[in-house]
Structure 1
Amino acid sequence: MDTELFQSSLAEKGIVLSPQQLDQFELYFNLLVEWNEKMNLTSITDKKEVYLKHFYDSISAAFYFDFSKPLSICDVGAGAGFPSLPIKICFPDLQVSIVDSLQKRINFLTHLTNELGLKNVQLFHDRAETFGQDKSKRESFDVVTARAVARLSVLSELCLPLVKKNGNFIAMKAAAAKEELDAGKKALNVLGGKVKDIHSFDLPLEKSERTILLIEKIKETPKKYPRKPGTPNKLPIE
């Protein structure tokens, strides 16, 4: 996906990028490739692939959820900033918090957000399990996002404790989302979540399937969740 197709494809969805925003995406790409030579951020470094599989794919959450309001968003396990930073570039009024367990990635994200001039972005070097038990962060975010971090039964325990009641958890998945949802229904129920919408679409050009799960937080998460680091992955709620 070249930059012109990227711009026109987003415009078709009602997301019109300014020259400054396009420059930010260009700089994002350049910094991603530059830092990727020093540390493993992504296996995708071809420009057209980055614009399609990282930038466009991240922003696709905004096709089904309204990010135009000044929401507080927490991105769990964002890695190189996906999906929250491409969304933030498109919707500058968002307040974004990113949690990642690797300090090197936080160093990259610190440099990236400074270079891109992004305001109201906070970066936390932490495990999602301990972050979710922090009283100042727990159940404090309007939206929590995660993209390709873990299967839904595990991901729900990492994300839903951070979502405020009546807020939303947006899980961005590939083709196996229906199976994950079946396996993760108990976890969603225990943790206070309820599936509001399921949106499936094909990524342009390569036509690989994507699924976006919109999960509403309908009740508070029991205090015991999330459990200790590593436990959700070893013993998922199923």
Structure 2
Amino acid sequence: MIDKQLLLDSCHDFEINLPESAPDKLDTYAQLLVEWNEKMNLTAITEPREIVLKHFVDSLLLLKAVELPEGASLIDVGTGAGFPSMPVKIAREDLKVTMLDSLQKRLTFLKEVNDKLGLDCTFIHSRAEDGGKQKTLREKFDFATARAVANLRDLAEYCLPYVKVGGYFVSLKGPDVEEEIKESKNAIATMGGKVEKVLQFTLPDESGRSIVLIKKISQTPPQFPRTAAKMAKKPII
């Protein structure tokens, strides 16, 4: 289905190394994504070239942005159709990947992908703000990630509670992120985080991407994360 050469060439351009099995596994993932998308709304992107660039290469930029140690634990908060965590897991099967989402149907799809590809991902059905307060999940991960349209201020409150002190929240955003970072500075600090660096990338289709690396430097206070309604009513500004 997908153009595997386009995938390999694009990853080569970003100096992202894929294991030999990855192109075939990503092809199977793409086929399942399109098939399941006819039954439920997983993605607006279904054209093979766009899947390669806007889903797969975009997700794999995480490996370019941050060094993930062998066997590191990573949670994808609000994983949706599995981006960025499923392509990252396919490229780095040594990672301990957990995918959290509030919609069970999405997790059912991801479990099928996981089983078909012989992976060992963990799946958690939960709202982000509920999972962040569970003892089994709170401050248990080396890395948290989200590729979400939500504001970085809210994402910091959702995601940083999952990260161990010394770990990172890796936020995948669009090209214009500077204003968002300024607006979220106090929220990030309140959650125990600090923006370490921002990396900018341009995909082969000329669309821009930013990856914000936020280091967890202290524990998140116990009252966070709050519910979405409370976050909207009283944002940390």
TM-score (norm 2): 0.95
What is the 5 A alignment of 1:1-150? 2-119=3-120, 121-150=121-150
> For the Cα contact (< 8 Å) 1:68–1:91, is it kept in 2?
no
Gaps of 5+ in 2: none
RMSD (Å) for aligned C-alpha atoms = 1.4
Gaps of 5+ in 1: none
Which one is further off, 127-136 or 227-236? 227-236
Residues 188 and 10 (structure 1), Cα distance of their counterparts in 2 relative to 1, 3 Å cut: same
- Which letter maps to 1:122? T
- Which letter maps to 2:30? F
> How far apart, CA to CA, are the structure 1 residues paired with 2:174 and 2:81?
18
> How far apart, CA to CA, are the structure 1 residues paired with 2:69 and 2:34?
29
C-alpha displacement at 1:79, in angstroms?
Answer: 0.3
> How far apart, CA to CA, are the structure 1 residues paired with 2:228 and 2:127?
7
Q: Equivalent residue for 1:216?
A: 215
Secondary structure at the counterpart of residue 196 of structure 1 = strand
> How far apart, CA to CA, are the structure 1 residues paired with 2:143 and 2:40?
29
> How far apart, CA to CA, are the structure 2 residues paired with 1:64 and 1:86?
15
CA offsets 1:122-157 (integer angstroms, 9 cap, x no match): 101100101000011100100000002410010000
Residues 116 and 233 (structure 1), Cα distance of their counterparts in 2 relative to 1, 3 Å cut: farther
> For the Cα contact (< 8 Å) 1:72–1:96, is it kept in 2?
yes
> For the Cα contact (< 8 Å) 2:74–2:95, is it kept in 1?
yes
Same amino acid, percent of matched pairs: 45
CA offsets 1:83-136 (integer angstroms, 9 cap, x no match): 0110111011000111100111111111111111112x1101100101000011
C-alpha displacement at 1:209, in angstroms?
Answer: 1.3
> For the Cα contact (< 8 Å) 2:16–2:60, is it kept in 1?
no
Residues 22 and 54 (structure 1), Cα distance of their counterparts in 2 relative to 1, 3 Å cut: same
Secondary structure at the counterpart of residue 195 of structure 2 = strand
TM-score (norm 1): 0.95
Q: Equivalent residue for 2:162?
A: 162
Q: Equivalent residue for 1:237?
A: 236
Q: Equivalent residue for 1:228?
A: 227
Residues 234 and 62 (structure 1), Cα distance of their counterparts in 2 relative to 1, 3 Å cut: farther
> How far apart, CA to CA, are the structure 1 residues paired with 2:233 and 2:76?
22
> How far apart, CA to CA, are the structure 1 residues paired with 2:234 and 2:176?
20
> How far apart, CA to CA, are the structure 1 residues paired with 2:134 and 2:64?
31
Alignment length (residue pairs) = 236
> For the Cα contact (< 8 Å) 1:10–1:16, is it kept in 2?
yes
